[in-house]
């Protein structure tokens, strides 16, 4: 009996079908973030300094300098990652010459659509509301100057059209995620009016209902950013309320909360009131520092919350980190592989047995089983998954 067959038998003894788990795992797409490949620089204005609470550190050689290089690097990463994949683009990554962000069109991203179609993958998309002269004061959609608000509203509307274009071209739903870095470095006197302006701007952006067979709109909160430490207009409470009342998806970023908060604790509660969730999987270290995702307890807990409560049809998974201190291609692969490992661990859990003990108030059995399950040979199942996907496993990677 080989190692996988032995593991298969061990999991069968606790009521888990490893073949079923692998089949379910293979259906869950993970969206890789394009900005890991070039430290969030984009191709709109090469050499532009990052702003809006965005900061990438490290000078590892090999940063992609144009769309062709970036696509080649993503292909290299894809070759190391088993399972279904998507790519998440920001608006500053278009192929053709730069135009005003308010005027970008699908034609600017036709090269990306063709590349994705050839690989039979989907594309996700994001307006870029940072690193721009009209974001220099730390406010965009909540800016008191209506002309600046209108510029960013036009940009977001243009991005929604691009998202729908991707959905039509590729036959796969594109998630359009709006994150605005609006806030203040020091304590503001008026915390309400910027939120009123942001609400009105978002309502205008989403005034035309999306065809959700093509694209799904999402909104993303943040605790703070560099230069925006004291007040963020789009807080978690703001976007939770907005998503619940407007019917858009809510993005929960693992790095966008207080260090004592975890995204895994929010998923089941939010799922009761929010139709769809977008999970941006990152790893904060003291702040939203976007470190490469590792297989830690929180990552496994995020995966378990989605798998245990059968939310895979309502949850989108996307990576969100940018680390220029290590090989950028391997960074993509490490993070994506770890997220898929976490999903596999969750799928190999005998959840119904745990729930039975919990409902019987047998908490001793519950913790005993949870601890013993940690030593079951999920790694052998992972290795089998990699073998079938023809990607390297373990240290062969």
Q: Which among 86, 132, 222, 341 is annotated as catalytic?
A: 222
Classified as helix, coil or strand, 28 is: coil
Classified as helix, coil or strand, 31 is: strand
Catalytic status, residue 382: no
- State the burial class of residue 377 (Cβ atoms within 10 Å of its Cβ: 0-12, 13-18, 19+): middle
How far apart are the C-alpha atoms of 238 and 81, rounded to whole Å? 36
CA-to-CA separations, 265 to 103, 269, 286, 298, 306, in angstroms, rounded: 40, 8, 19, 10, 11
Q: Which among 38, 182, 220, 384 is annotated as catalytic?
A: 220
Catalytic status, residue 179: yes
Q: Outline where 171-253 has alpha helix (H).
A: 193-205, 236-246
Q: Measured on CA atoms in the order 252, 254, 255, 257, is the torsion positive or negative? A: positive
Catalytic status, residue 280: yes
* Tokens, residue 227: 């230069």
Residues in the chain: 397
Catalytic status, residue 287: no
Catalytic status, residue 26: no
Catalytic status, residue 220: yes
CA angle (225 as vertex; 31, 157 as ends), nearest 5: 55
Catalytic status, residue 253: yes
- State the burial class of residue 11 (Cβ atoms within 10 Å of its Cβ: 0-12, 13-18, 19+): buried
Catalytic status, residue 38: no
DSSP secondary structure letters along 257-300: S-TT--THHHHHHHHTT-S-EEEEE-B-SSSS--BPP---HHHH
Q: Which among 35, 112, 152, 179 is annotated as catalytic?
A: 179
Q: Which among 169, 217, 288, 298 is annotated as catalytic?
A: 288
Catalytic status, residue 222: yes
Q: Which among 85, 134, 143, 280 is annotated as catalytic?
A: 280
Q: Which among 253, 298, 323, 384 is annotated as catalytic?
A: 253
Q: Which among 169, 217, 305, 320 is annotated as catalytic?
A: 320
Q: Which among 8, 86, 90, 256 is annotated as catalytic?
A: 256
Residues that are catalytic: 179, 220, 222, 253, 256, 280, 288, 290, 320
């Amino acid at each position: 009996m080989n190692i996988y067959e032995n593991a298969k038998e061990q999991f069968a003894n606790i009521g888990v079908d490893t073949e079923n788990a692998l089949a379910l795992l293979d259906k869950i797409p993970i969206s890789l973030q394009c900005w890991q490949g070039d430290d969030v620089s984009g191709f709109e204005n090469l050499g532009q300094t990052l702003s809006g609470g965005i900061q990438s550190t490290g000078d590892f050689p090999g940063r992609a300098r144009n769309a062709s290089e970036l696509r080649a690097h993503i292909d290299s990463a894809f070759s190391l990652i088993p399972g279904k994949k998507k790519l998440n683009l920001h608006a500053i990554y278009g192929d053709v010459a730069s135009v005003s962000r308010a005027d970008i069109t699908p034609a600017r991203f036709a090269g990306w659509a063709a590349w994705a179609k050839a690989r039979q993958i989907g594309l996700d998309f994001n307006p870029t509301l940072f690193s721009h002269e009209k974001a220099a004061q730390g406010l965009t959609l909540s800016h008191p100057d209506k002309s600046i608000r209108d510029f960013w509203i036009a940009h977001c509307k243009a991005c929604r059209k691009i998202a729908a274009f991707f959905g039509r071209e590729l036959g796969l739903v594109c998630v359009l995620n709006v994150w605005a870095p609006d806030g203040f470095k020091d304590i503001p006197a008026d915390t309400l009016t910027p939120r009123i302006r942001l609400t009105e701007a978002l309502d205008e952006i989403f005034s035309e209902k999306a065809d959700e067979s093509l694209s799904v709109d999402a909104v993303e909160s943040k605790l703070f950013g560099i230069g925006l430490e004291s007040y963020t207009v789009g807080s978690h409470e703001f976007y939770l309320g907005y998503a619940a009342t407007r019917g858009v998806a809510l993005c929960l970023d693992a790095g966008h909360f207080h260090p004592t908060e975890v995204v895994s604790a929010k998923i089941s509660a939010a799922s009761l009131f929010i139709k769809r969730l977008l999970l941006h999987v990152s790893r904060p270290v003291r702040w939203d520092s976007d470190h490469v995702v590792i297989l830690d307890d929180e990552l496994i807990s995020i995966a378990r919350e989605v798998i245990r409560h059968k939310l895979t049809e309502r949850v989108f998974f996307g990576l969100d980190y940018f680390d220029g201190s290590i090989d950028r291609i391997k960074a993509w692969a490490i993070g994506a592989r770890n997220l898929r490992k976490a999903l596999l661990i969750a799928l190999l859990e005998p959840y119904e047995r745990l729930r039975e003990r919990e409902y019987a108030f047998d908490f001793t059995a519950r913790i005993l089983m949870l601890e013993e399950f940690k030593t079951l040979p999920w790694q052998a199942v992972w290795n089998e998954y990699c073998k079938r996907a023809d990607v390297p496993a373990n240290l062969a990677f």
